[in-house]
Amino acid sequence: MSEMTFQNGYGDREIAVAAANAPLVKTAIAKGLLTEEKPVVGFIDIAGVRQTVASLKQAFPDHFEHHFAVKANGMSSVLKLLRENGMRAETASPGELKQALGAGFTGSEIVFDEPAKTLHAMKEVVAIGATLHVDNFEEMARVKELLADGYDGEVGYRINPQVGSGKIKAMSTAGQHSKFGVPLEDEGNRERIIQDYLANPWMRTVHTHVGSQGCPFELIAEGINKIIALAKEVNERAGEQRIVSVDMGGGLRVNFETEEITPTFADYAEFLKENVPDLFTGEFRVKTEFGRAVMAKNGAILARIEYAKNSGGRHIATSHAGAQIAARTIFMPESWPLRLSAFDADGNHKTSDVIEQDVAGPCCFAGDVIAHQRQLPKLNSGDCVVIHDTGAYYFSNPFFYNSLPASAVYGYEEKDGTLELEEYRAQQTLESMMALIG
């Protein structure tokens, strides 16, 4: 089942979106950021990030602590921007932990969620005083040895509430057989979890994450309610508030069909107030781990069209953006479609000669098509396309098929009527690519 029904058209709305992006495209071309040597370039909307974080903080009460899922976009400049605007960091690997620390996050501002933690990694987490979420009972045995003398930070189980999967199973983490967390409903597990909390005073938090794109609010709320009930039972049996914080994960879906931000953080908060009221009483500090919802709408990719041709009566435009930068869209196009806008070589948005066409990528396999049978102004050699909503997961997971280098990424912001650009990531050289490949 596909996650969304993508509206295939190019009318007034699409023209307006393209027109709004024309200044950025023109600036990028004028500054030589899109060339034969650099045929793909990425952008981050700095003002947009600030506005998004502000809307997140405004939607929830002050006892909520918002952690950005570093996996969604781990560039140092992005993480610094988010921290400057009041976010914390959720990390899921030693590399992400290093990125967060390098961006200025302190241990108390970091959550560590890796599913396959080594003892070495856990020692690093403990050394900085970060929150440690324990994935399974075997891991807990190691943690007990590591924290024999106690811990000033927070430790707790990641719980799989086993409430089921959303529409995109690969993005769902609370199914019956999920690889993530301790399955709450398996025989004997609930009592074993509770006994660990009662026996170890340093276990002061509990975590769940039902899933992200494709998971309905109702499913997420069901999972959060289960861990709150667990926390309340632990505290009642301990005779004190042993669990002081609840991590509800992320999961706010992103609208990839249009430029509109829907649902909003405010929409989500209102739903949770009605369906998970215990989050809002102040009994627990609440941690969130939003990633895609923070960054997706604040990023875009600009790519050159190298050739155009007809095959079997269909127009095909071959671009330089494909699986190497948009792997999820290429391999799961029904679940991850992206909007495109058409521009000419000078950065003027194209409005006429709209036809159905494929926009292909540069990789050497047939499935490398970023848009299938899409209604767009006819794309020709020398034109370019903007690929929208790519601020999350499109810059953080380059795919090195065909030895294609990772693109440069720039932050941009309008100041005094002029678009100013800041290099967030340099274009990867072929030499560094060769060294990486070996």
Of 275, 295, 315, the residue that ends a domain is 295
Does any domain span residue 5?
A: no
Does any domain span residue 406?
A: yes
Does any domain span residue 409?
A: yes
Are 87 and 187 found together in one domain? yes
Q: Per-residue pLDDT for 397 more than 90?
A: no
Are 316 and 217 found together in one domain? no
Are 225 and 360 found together in one domain? no
Q: How many residues does the chain have?
A: 438
Are 319 and 236 found together in one domain? no
Number of domains in the chain: 2
Does any domain span residue 4?
A: no
Identify the CATH number of the domain in which residue 328 sits: 2.40.37.10
Q: Per-residue pLDDT for 1 more than 50?
A: no
Three-state DSSP class for residue 102: helix
Are 351 and 405 found together in one domain? yes
In this structure, what token pair is assigned to residue 392?
A: 């999350």
Predicted local distance difference test score (pLDDT) of residue 4: 44
Choose the most confident range, by mean pLDDT, from 70-79, 219-228, 390-399. 70-79
**In Å, how far from its chain's centre is CA 131?**
20
DSSP 349: B
Are 196 and 219 found together in one domain? yes
Does any domain span residue 363?
A: yes
Are 289 and 327 found together in one domain? no
Identify the CATH number of the domain in which residue 55 sits: 3.20.20.10
Are 132 and 259 found together in one domain? yes
Are 180 and 191 found together in one domain? yes
Are 348 and 288 found together in one domain? no
Of 270, 295, 320, the residue that ends a domain is 295
Amino acid present at 108: S
Domain region containing 374: 12-44+296-437
Does any domain span residue 376?
A: yes
Question: What percentage of the chain has pLDDT greater than the value 90?
Answer: 84
Q: Please give the model's pTM, rounded to 2 decimal places.
A: 0.94
Of 260, 295, 330, the residue that ends a domain is 295
What would the mean pLDDT of 316-341 be, rounded to a whole number? 93
How high is the mean pLDDT of the chain? 93
pLDDT tens-digit series, residues 149-199: 999 999 999 999 877 565 655 555 656 666 678 999 899 999 999 999 999
Q: Per-residue pLDDT for 264 more than 90?
A: yes
DSSP 382: T
Are 323 and 210 found together in one domain? no
The full DSSP string for 234-276 is: HHHHHTS----EEE---------SSSS--S-HHHHHHHHHHH-
What would the mean pLDDT of 74-91 be, rounded to a whole number? 98
Three-state DSSP class for residue 352: coil
Does any domain span residue 1?
A: no
When pLDDT is cut at 50, 70 and 90, the band that residue 121 belongs to is: very high
Cβ-in-10-Å burial (0-12, 13-18, 19+) of 403 comes to: exposed
When pLDDT is cut at 50, 70 and 90, the band that residue 5 belongs to is: very low
Are 187 and 197 found together in one domain? yes
Does any domain span residue 264?
A: yes
| Residue 28 Rama label (left phi>0; alpha psi -120 to 50; beta) | alpha
Whole-number Å distance between alpha carbons of 48 and 25: 17
